[in-house]
Structure 1
Amino acid sequence: MRLRGVRGSRNIEDRRRVTGGGRARIGGVGLLIVLAVGYFAGIDVTPLLQQGLPQESAAPRELSAEEERASEFTSRVLATTEAVWGQVFPQQVGRPYEPPVLVLFSGQTASPCGGASGATGPFYCPADEKAYLDTEFFATLSRQLGASGDFAAAYVIAHEVAHHVQNELGILGQVNQRRQVVGQTEANALTVRLELQADCLSGVWARNVDGLLEPGDLEEALNAARMIGDDHLQRRAGQVPQPHSFTHGTSEQRARWFARGYQTGDINACDTFGARSL
């Protein structure tokens, strides 16, 4: 991805120089996205999120050169999402777009949606309208999940911002209300539609940064979508895929909905909730 010359975003909150994020209880609107992204990394973090994280000392530390590069990359990618949605939102929705703050943390942190560690993967908290990212996840994505390349990492950032777009549209609140009154299987099915819509919205972003793409970038994003499909992650964990437990969609679905957003560039084409078949 050609990011040279792209000015970084100012909407970055960097907590990596201080260890320890305090203790926070998960609840309400935050549960929807945090637990969903917990499985994103193929790890069951429900007990951790319910209990909160232990308080650690706020000891300052120096950032490595690799961490600094990750911060710069994240800031520039975030800036592209601000430019894209700042244009697309008024055109297609008819009102201004308010961008989220992206929190960079190392190891663990706290949010109004609960405490989280790097093992949970990136997440979005509707309660404070912030996305949270431990940049070490980029290495996990590449080395453990088999999704390498800078555009694969950019897709992860765009996906979390897409959850903010859903929040701006009022979709997150509606889905969370519905999840409270249905059984677990139906709640999972609603979350799948939510995540596939975020993949599609990520594709809308990708279409609008087409001029920054390099050969192979699009395939990197599609491969990342495939590598984090529920069926692939369950097989990777030595399990037989259990569709009733899916919370993000299959590899094929995730790649297809990302491609749909890229091909159309249209928010309305991302209506996974109105789609008869996913």
Structure 2
Amino acid sequence: MKWRGRRQSENVVDRRGVSGRTVAGGGIGVMLIALLIGFLGGDPRQFMQQAQQQKAAPQAGAGGPLSEKDKELGEFVSTVLADTEVVWTDLFQRSNLVYEKPRLELFTDTTTSACGSATAASGPFYCPADKKVYLDLSFFDQLANQLGAPGDFAQAYVVAHEVGHHVQNLLGKTSELDKLRRSVPQVEYNRYSVMLELQADFYAGVMFHHAQKRFNILEPGDIEEGLRAASSIGDDKLQKRSRGQANQESFTHGTSEQRVRWFMKGLQTGDPGQGDTFNAAQL
């Protein structure tokens, strides 16, 4: 992906190294369990908080200088965020709307958001209450090494997906689903959650469609990286990996096939109007 030497966003808050504690004795096992809990629709923050209460120790090297790799990753994420700002500002203007740019916070191990505390194991997430995307960049290592989706475009897809949730928030879809959460059974709400996630995948594709036209960002293999990332975090694949089988009623993000298909639809059409997953004949 072509990103070096281009504009970076001014809306990135870099708090890496500020966090002060991490779980001792749990390591990758604790993080993987919490990551899977989050992907399967549970609350990994509660799990991590319980683990921290059992045994915690100061983080080694907290507050130290960032490595060159860390600096480069921060610049990369800032560039991707800048692309989303340009694309969505333009698309909102075409509909006579004003796009409010989100902020993106980079953190190490733990942070606090308006939606509650978060850890690296929570995975990337968007908090509608403060309109911020939260990301511990160690997730990119998990994406590559544990979920089988390496590459910079796979990482860019993650950022674009979370910004897709911000777009939904600005358009009122997030608040609609919050109301539904309180009025329908969990199994039924899970279906709406899948629709929300697939639409965020679609919006990620839309963003890259227009970013490619404007900045010529794609290199050979990039699209395959994005599709691999979308596929690797499908509910069916994650559940089979963690449980040995998949339970469709508990899906909250969509199958691998659905996530790939909606991402590609956005990438191919570039038309936000074609991403109404809530009224689609086929998810």
Same fold by TM-score, threshold 0.5 exceeded?
yes
Aligned to 1:152, the other structure's residue is in SS state: helix
Q: How many residues align?
A: 264
Asked if 2 retains the 8 angstrom alpha-carbon contact of 1:191 and 1:247, the reply is: yes
1:234 aligns with 2:216: no
Distance (Å, rounded) in 1 between the aligned partners of 2:146 and 2:41:
11
Residue 86 of structure 1: CA displacement?
Answer: 1.2
Could you list the per-position Cα deviations for residues 43-96 of structure 1 after superposition, in whole angstroms to 9, with x for gaps in the alignment? 8616337879779989632212221111111111111111111111111x3212
* CA RMSD between the two structures: 2.5
Matching of residue 253 in structure 1 with residue 258 in structure 2: yes
What percent identity do the matched residue pairs reach?
A: 50
- Provide the residue aligned with 2:80 in structure 1: 77
Aligned to 1:65: 68
Partner amino acid, structure 1, of 2:256: S
Query: Which position in structure 1 is the counterpart of 2:207?
Result: 205
Q: What is the correspondence of 1:56-135 to structure 2 with a 5 Å cutoff? A: 60-91=63-94, 93-135=95-137
Please name the residue that 1:25 is paired with: none
Q: 1:274 and 1:53, CA in 2 relative to 1: closer, same or farther beyond 3 A? A: farther
Any unmatched runs of 5+ in structure 2? 22-33
Are residue 40 (structure 1) and residue 45 (structure 2) matched?
no
8 Å Cα contact 2:45/2:118 also seen in 1:
no
SS of alignment partner, residue 205 of structure 1? helix
Instruction: Please report how far the alpha carbon of residue 238 of structure 1 lies from its aligned counterpart in structure 2 after TM superposition.
Output: 3.7
Is the CA contact 2:161–2:203 (under 8 Å) kept in the aligned structure 1? yes
- Partner of 1:193 in structure 2? 195
In the alignment, which residue of structure 1 is the partner of 2:179?
177
Q: 1 CA distance for matches of 2:114 and 2:36?
A: 16
- 1:37–1:123 CA contact under 8 A, matched in 2: no
User: Given the alignment of the two structures, is residue 12 of structure 1 paired with residue 12 of structure 2, yes or no?
Assistant: yes
When normalised by structure 1's length, the TM-score is 0.88
- Aligned twin of 1:29: none
Distance 2:93 2:49 in 1: 38
User: Residues 155, 256 of structure 1: CA spacing in aligned structure 2 closer, same or farther, 3 A cutoff?
Assistant: same
The separation in 2 between residues aligned to 1:61 and 1:148, in whole angstroms, is 27
Contact 1:37 1:121 in 2 (8 A): no
TM value normalised by structure 2: 0.87
Distance 2:196 2:35 in 1: 10
Label 1:37 to 1:268 Cα distance change in 2 as closer, same or farther (>3 A). Answer: farther
In structure 1, runs of 5+ residues without a counterpart are 22-34
Confirm or deny: 8 A CA contact 2:36 2:242 kept in the other structure: no
**In structure 2, what is the Cα distance between the partners aligned to 1:36 and 1:194?**
19
Question: What secondary structure is seen at the aligned counterpart in 1 of 2:105?
Answer: strand
Q: Which amino acid aligns with 2:71?
A: E
Q: Pick from 168, 177, 188: which aligns with 2:170? A: 168
**Cα displacement string for residues 112-135 of structure 1 (whole angstroms, at most 9, x for unaligned residues):** 101111011000000000000000
